[in-house]
Amino acid sequence: IIDQKRSKVFTYDQQGNLLFAFGDAGNQKGSIAAIKSVCYQGDNMILLDSDSGSFTVYRRTEYGNILIKALENQNTGNYDAEVDDWTEILKRNNNFDVAYNGIAAAKYRDKDYEGAMQYYKDASNAEGYSKAFKEVRKDWMSKYFWVVPVVIIAAIVAIAKFAGFASKKNKAIALKVGQKNIKEELLYAFHVIVHPFDGFWDLKHEKRGSVASATFWLAMVILAFIYQSFGTGYIVKGATTTSVAGGAFAQAMGILLPLLLFVTANWCLTTLFDGEGSFKDVYIATCYAAAPLSFLIFLSTIVSNFVSSSETGFVSLISGVAWVWFALLLFFGIMVVHDYSISKNILTFLGTVVGMCLIMFIVILFSGLLMKMTGFISNISTELSFRI
C-alpha cells in the first residue's frame, strides 16, 4: 500500500499483518517527495517520484528476504523450513508477533499444543492460545477423566459438612454468656451471609462481631483481589501485564479506600437522619457483608485457569454473583444497623453516594491547595537562598 501523503510504502501478508514499512518525504538521496507508482524487478522495488520524475530503487534487506521466504514456506506447506525462517526472524526482531504466530501455528499442526500455547502467549494471541489450550485440556481429561467428578463431589461434601458445623457452632455460641472470642466472631460471618436480618441484628446488639474480626474479613477480600490480579488465567486476563507489587498495592487501595469512604459518608449522613448505628457498627456491617467476595473472587480466579475463550462467561457469572450478593448484604446490613425502612434506606444509599462524591471533591481540592502552598513555600525558600 502506498501512502502518498507521507511518502511511505507499507507491506502486508494475506491476513493483513503489517510486515514492514519504509520511505520518507524529503530531498535527500533515497527520499521521495511524492510517490506516484511502484513496480517490482526481481527482489527490488522501484518507486516513481511524481515531482521530479525520477526513479528510486529499493533493494530488500536480508531480514526482508527471510521474512518473504517464511511466508512462501507457509503458503506452500513447507512447515519445517517455515519454523526455521521464523526463528531467524526472531533472532533479528523478537517483537514481531507474526513470527510468534507462525511458529505457534506450526507447532499446533505438529500437535505440540503446549509449545503452541507458549508462542501464542508471546504473540498476545488469546484466541490461538485458547484453541491450543482446549487440546491440552482434552488430552488431560482423556487421561484423568475421573478426577473432575471426584473433586466436585468432594468439594460439595466438604462445603455441606462445613456449613453444618458452622450452623451448629453458631447456635451453641448464641447461648454463650460473656465476650465472644475472635474465632467465634469470624465463624459468625457464615451465619450473617445467609441470614442477613437476624445476623446483622445480633452482630450489633449481641456483640457477635468486633472491629478485629471485621478487619480480618476486609483483609481476606483484599487478598482475594490481589490474587486475582496475578492469578487470573491468561485467556480471561488477555495480554494485560501488571507487576505483582504494583498490582497488589493498586488492588488493596481499590478496595480499602472506597470502603472507608462509604463507611464515612454513610455514618456522616445517617447521624443527621436518626440513624442508630455508630461509625464502628457501619464498618463492621460493611466488612461482614463483603465476606462472600473473598470466597467467590478466589473461586472465579481459580476457574479462570481452566476455561477457554468461549467459556469465560462462567468466570463472569461467579464474579457477578459475588457482587450482587455483597450489594444485597450491604443494603440489608445498613438497614438493620440504622433501623431504617426499605424506602428510607434507599434514600440514604443515594445520599451516601452523593456524600462520597462530595468527600472526594473536598479531598482533591484540599490536596491541590496543599500542593500549591508547598510549591509557594519552596519557591520562597529558593529565592531567599539566592539572595542571602
C-beta atoms surrounding 242 within 10 Å = 13
> Could you tell me the pLDDT band of residue 243, with boundaries at 50, 70 and 90?
very low
Report the share of the chain in percent with pLDDT over 70: 93
Dig out the grid coordinates for 274 from the structure. Answer: 436518626
Instruction: Count Cα atoms within 13 angstroms, Cβ side, for 130.
Output: 16
pLDDT over threshold 70, residue 240:
no
Of 178 and 269, more confident: 269
pLDDT at 203: 87
pLDDT at 241: 47
Name the least confident of 209-218, 220-229, 238-247.
Answer: 238-247
Mean pLDDT comparison of 20-24, 131-135, 162-166, 204-208, highest-scoring range = 131-135
pLDDT tens digit sequence for 58-88: 888 888 889 989 988 888 888 888 889 999 9
Report the share of the chain in percent with pLDDT over 90: 37
> Could you tell me the pLDDT band of residue 363, with boundaries at 50, 70 and 90?
confident
Rounded to an integer, the average pLDDT of 277-285 is 92
Q: How high is the mean pLDDT of the chain?
A: 86
Enter the pTM of the model: 0.79
> Could you tell me the pLDDT band of residue 300, with boundaries at 50, 70 and 90?
very high
> Could you tell me the pLDDT band of residue 230, with boundaries at 50, 70 and 90?
confident
Q: Which long-range contacts (CB under 8 A, 24 or more apart) does 126-135 make?
A: 126/234, 126/235, 126/238, 126/239, 126/309, 127/309, 128/101, 128/104, 129/234, 129/235, 130/235, 130/308, 130/309, 130/310, 131/308, 132/104, 132/108, 133/235, 133/308, 134/308, 135/108, 135/111
pLDDT tens digit sequence for 176-185: 766 778 888 8
Of 369 and 28, more confident: 369
Residue with cell 468466570: 315
pLDDT at 384: 79
pLDDT at 267: 92
Rounded to an integer, the average pLDDT of 143-167 is 88
Name the least confident of 37-41, 130-134, 204-208.
Answer: 37-41
Rounded to an integer, the average pLDDT of 126-154 is 89
Q: Are 293 and 328 in contact (CB under 8 A)?
A: no
pLDDT at 258: 92
Q: Is 27 exposed, middle or buried (0-12, 13-18, 19+ CB in 10 A)?
A: exposed
DSSP state of 309: G
pLDDT at 242: 47
